[in-house]
Amino acid sequence: MSLLSRPVRAALIAGSMSLALVATGCGSSDPKAPAADGGDSASAECAPFAQFGKHEGKKVSIYSPIRDKEADLFQETWAPFEKCTGMKITYEGTGEFEAQIQVRTDGGNPPDLAFFPQPGLLERFAKAGKLKPAPAEVKKLTEQNWSADWAKYGTVDGTFYAAPLGASVKSFVWYSPKMFAEKGWTVPTTWDELMTLSNTIAGTGVKPWCAGIESGEATGWPATDWIEDILLRELGPEEYDNWVAHKLPFNDPKVVAAVDKVGSILKNDKFVNGGYGPVKSISSTAFQEGGVPITEGKCALHRQASFYANFWPEGTKVAEDGDVFAFYLPGNDPSKKPVLGAGEFVGAFADRPEVQAVQAYLATGDYANARMKLGTYVSANKGVDIANAQNPIDKLSIEMLQDPNTIFRFDGSDLMPAAVGAGTFWKGMTDWINGKDTKTVLDYIEASWPKS
């Protein structure tokens, strides 16, 4: 007995055959005929892109943690580049970059390029042999456009892999210029002045500092930034590098002292948490809302990166004479200017010519300037024209990055092994805010450092 009657079976087979025909028909015909716009007007427009060659019909995929509006601006920036070189860049932003890039690479489906926000993650992929070294052209552009501090973060075991892209400055304290003017407070230039100011503000009945470290599974990271900023000032850049590389133990007495220094603000009920309540409210306040009480006059100071400019309530003017602005988080010595920051690096999983052309383009000053003209953006690229900065805080950031006296160091938690930098360090600092003592927390983080 057959499972199906003969006519039914015939129909089924015929049906699937015709489906197959339709499918192949659709697949083979490419409705998008290449636009033949090689006219005179286009050639002038395309002149700056001539050096990147022609890659007609080629495709390059980019995977990145940057999404939404900023992602649209990226695509808008490189649209002329795409048009002139004839290639198509497919951009995919994700909220789960750290986990998904691993999954895609393990699954044999890596993107051509990825924007790594953590040099530590980049290093992991480079060491696993997944990344392609950067071509000579990109290396040359990087040496020309970025400081050695920056180039170092794209280099693994002496091989240069990735050019920097965007940047953000983390060593900022947000405040309200209006409030400061009204009360007669001035922007402090040393740590001691900052503490005096905090006490003065506390004396007026307002808790001077506010903070929020809740960020879903990344809860705790704003507190680690605090620690890194102070460590960089207390230990100096060389010891900071040693600490990041785990040559200086995490529970070293010097580190304990620096963390306690942060604790004199973040774990001091007299100083925090303006507008939100006791110290513990820091760990349940979303980092996006951490500084908002400044606009309500319930808090005066909030340490957060330059990108916090995007999180103020609608209608808040971010400017030196506006509702909110930022000053450099001072250290003990006003003549030295260590700056903590972060940024993305363009790592390549493929070395096809069109992929390398995109890498080279993204490393140019032209790209950074074009991107800046479209909206808020900061790059440590030396080719950046400060006049293109779209707002005062971007301008201030770029000034700091281009200042030759600036000692730039990357956010340490992004450089450490993920188990610490995106795990126990975040978790430990959350526990610390929640009441555990400094030594216990640092011992716990030290013990969690991967051994191998």
Partner 1 sequence: MNLDFDFAAEQPKLVQLLLGVVAFCAVVALLLLLLDRAPMRQRARLHATILLAPALILLAIGLIVPAVRTTLLSFMNGDGSRWVGLDNYLWMFTQPEAVTVLRNTLVWVALVPILVTSVGLLYAVVVDRTRFESIAKSLVFLPMAISFVGAGIIWKFVYAYRPEGSDQIGLLNQIVVALGGTPQQWLLEPPLNTLFLIVVMVWIQAGFATVVLSAAIKGIPAEIVEAARLDGASPVQMFFQVTLPCIRSAVVVVLVTQSIGTLKLFDIVRTMTGGQFDTSVIANEMYNQAFRYGETGKGAALAVFLFVLVTPIVVYQIRQRREAAR
Instruction: Please tell me whether residue 181 binds partner 1 under the rule CB under 8 A.
Output: no
Decide: is 450 part of the binding site for partner 1 (CB under 8 A).
yes
User: What track of x and - describes contact with partner 1 for positions 265 through 284 (by CB under 8 A)?
Assistant: ----------xxx--xx-xx
Distance CA 448, CA 423 (A): 9
- DSSP states along 133-192: PPPHHHHHHHHHHS-HHHHHHTEETTEE--EEEEEEE--EEEE-HHHHHHHT----SSHH
Between 26 and 44, CB nearer to partner 1: 26
CB 173 within 8 A of CB 326: yes
- Residue 217, interface with partner 1 (CB under 8 A)? yes
Nearer of residues 227 and 368 to partner 1, judged by Cβ: 227
Given a contact cutoff of 8 angstroms between Cβ atoms, the answer to whether 189 and 327 are in contact is no
CB of 28 to partner 1, least distance (A): 10
Taking the complex as a whole, the smallest distance from the CB of residue 12 to partner 1 amounts, in Å, to 6
DSSP per-residue letters across 363-379: TSHHHHHHHHHHSS---
Cβ–Cβ < 8 Å for 442, 256: yes
For residue 275, the minimal CB distance to partner 1 (Å) is: 7
Residue 299 or 389 having the CB closest to partner 1? 299
Distance CA 445, CA 452 (A): 16
Q: Contacting partner 1 (CB under 8 A), which of 258, 401, 422, 441?
A: 422
Q: Smallest distance from the beta carbon of 292 to partner 1, in angstroms?
A: 12
Contact residue for partner 1 among 73, 218, 257, 350 (CB under 8 A): 218
Interface with partner 1, residue 26, by CB under 8 A: yes
Q: Is 239 exposed, middle or buried (0-12, 13-18, 19+ CB in 10 A)?
A: middle
| Torsion over CA: 441, 291, 235, 271 (sign) | negative
Overall size of the chain counted in residues:
452
In 3D, which of 331, 154, 151, 159 has the Cα closest to residue 240? 331
Q: What angle do CA 313, 315, 317 make, to 5 degrees?
A: 100
Considering beta carbons, is residue 106 or 403 the nearer one to partner 1? 106
Tell me how far, at minimum, the Cβ of 211 lies from partner 1, in Å: 14
Buried b (16+ CB within 10 A) or exposed e, 328-360: bbbbeeeeebbbbbbbbbbbbbeeeebbbbbbb
Regarding 23 and contact with partner 1 (CB under 8 A), the answer is yes
Q: Which member of 19, 50, 245, 386 binds partner 1 (CB under 8 A)? A: 19
Q: From 19-27, 40-48, 302-310, 386-394, give the range in contact with partner 1 by CB under 8 A.
A: 19-27
For residue 417, state whether it binds partner 1 (rule: CB under 8 A).
yes
Residue 347 interacts with partner 1 (CB under 8 A)? Answer: no
- Look up residue 163 and give its two tokens: 């050019």
Interface residues toward partner 1, by CB under 8 A: 2-4, 9, 12-13, 15-16, 19-20, 22-23, 26-27, 31, 98-99, 102-103, 124, 128, 216-220, 275-277, 280-281, 283-284, 417-419, 422-424, 427, 430-431, 434, 444, 447-448, 450, 452
